[in-house]
Amino acid sequence: MTTQPKISQNKQRKMEAVESLKVKLQKAKTFFLTDYRGLTHKQLETLRKSLKKVEAEYLVTKNRLLKLALDQIEVNVQSFKEA
């Protein structure tokens, strides 16, 4: 009898995050990569509210998880800076 190796909860969450990003990216007509550093919480909330009005959203995610999702849907972003 073979058993599946256990996946840590943290790795499982990351895999789910990548899958969620992949689905969102595939459904998107377009997407933008931005650097949110320097924005205040209030500015981010204002931005999110404005985007919601036009049926868009602003997501903050780890660069590595985004890169994995982009690789899985075969999007080549050459200028993507890995942190």
Question: pLDDT tens digits, residue range 32-81?
Answer: 888 889 999 999 999 999 999 999 999 999 989 999 999 999 887 765 65
* CA-based R_g, the chain, Å: 16
pLDDT at position 41: 95
pLDDT at position 51: 95
pLDDT at position 83: 46
pLDDT at position 79: 59
Q: In sequence order, what are the residues at sequence separation of 6 or more whose Cβ sits closer than 8 angstroms to the Cβ of residue 45?
A: none
Q: What's the rounded Cα separation, in Å, for the pair 48 and 30?
A: 17
Distance of alpha carbon 29 from its chain centroid, rounded?
15
